[in-house]
Amino acid sequence: MTERIRLTGVSKRYASAGRGPGALALHDIDLSIAAGEIYGLIGRSGAGKSTLLRTINGLETPTSGQVLVDGVDVHALAPRELRELRHGIGMVFQQFNLWGSRTVYGNIATPLKVAGWKDDAIAARVGELIDFVGLGGKAFARPRHLSGGQKQRVGIARAIASRPSILLADEATSALDPQTTVEIVELLRSVNRELGITIVVVTHEMDVVKRIADRVAILSEGAVVESGEIHQVLAHPRHPVTAGLVGSYARTSLSDADRAELHERFDGRRIAVAADDAVVDGPLLTRLARTHGVDFAIVQGGVARVKGRPYGQLSLALYGDDGALDRFTAELATQAEVTSW
């Protein structure tokens, strides 16, 4: 694995408006992002996601710690070197940040002009990008005549115009409706797959990281509380903040209120089974139930998939005699994560 971005012990405290210390936006962040992957940073509003993203291209300076991009210490660079580094890092924004007075062509061409490209090279590159992002025929439209999704396509074309190796996406789909979000996520995936660009996606939407990320870090109050491969994190969240994000998204796990209510209705043996491959990609539950003479009802739960692999939870109420229930539960537990509720 070639490491593209590494953060070591990164903390950021904003200057306070008045007396006393300002907000501690980042606390001792360690993160490693590989070349060619899509890395998701998810967390609630105020968790520090944007601040973290902006330390990568030097828009924010950490109070302490180090940010390396391709081994180069971003915050030790002279201004001219930093400008150079930024040519290799594109960025897209929630509100698109297009120049309203310029056409689609003008928006995409501007960073190339600034970088000193010749006019004919710019024309060829912009034409190519307009096709790549699916805006054929719109070259001379102004942003006010474009939909949100089309504006973000321009934003993406502009961000990748000078062939960066990294793209930072700060809530790039948060201003879009669900269908347009899916389309923009697909475009970002093409940027990653076809152009080999490493992408860091900041979002508060679980559905977005689930669709796009290879790996994910969960931020809470300026700290990374959990990180790992996307399926692993969704299927087996270890931190309550992660479980909260996954649970409220997939609505699979029981809240305390659900549990209290369901306990009144189901006072026998109650188990929750993680919706692992073994449980939902085959007839394990019914087979074991038949073998051990047990019946069950699924009282709540859900199964979702990430990269084709299932995750989620099924809450069951079991019916049968104690010995049969013990044997059923014990055998099930050898193949799936089983808890009682």
Please report, as ranges, the residues that interact with ligand ATP according to CB under 6 A. Answer: 14, 22-23, 25, 43, 45-51, 204
Q: How far is the CB of 240 from ligand ATP (least distance, A)?
A: 18
Q: How far is the CB of 204 from ligand ATP (least distance, A)?
A: 6
Q: How far is the CB of 48 from ligand ATP (least distance, A)?
A: 4
Bridge partners for 89 per DSSP: 166
Which residue pairs, CB below 8 angstroms and at least 24 apart, start in 256-264?
258/300, 259/341, 262/299, 262/300, 262/315, 262/341
| Nearer to ligand ATP (CB atom), residue 15 or residue 78 | 15
Are 199 and 38 in contact, with CB atoms under 8 Å apart? Answer: yes
Q: How far is the CB of 203 from ligand ATP (least distance, A)?
A: 9
| Nearer to ligand ATP (CB atom), residue 168 or residue 275 | 168
Q: How far is the CB of 9 from ligand ATP (least distance, A)?
A: 18
Buried b or exposed e, range 49-79, using 16+ CB within 10 angstroms: bbbbbbbbbbebebeebebbbeeeebeebee
Name 137's Cβ contacts closer than 8 Å, sequence gap at least 6. none
| Nearer to ligand ATP (CB atom), residue 45 or residue 340 | 45
| Nearer to ligand ATP (CB atom), residue 46 or residue 228 | 46
| Nearer to ligand ATP (CB atom), residue 51 or residue 252 | 51
Q: How far is the CB of 119 from ligand ATP (least distance, A)?
A: 38
| Nearer to ligand ATP (CB atom), residue 51 or residue 329 | 51
Residue carrying structure tokens 């007396």: 19
Q: DSSP H helical segments within the chain, as ranges?
A: 49-56, 79-87, 104-114, 119-132, 148-160, 178-195, 206-212, 230-235, 240-250, 256-265, 277-280, 284-292, 322-333
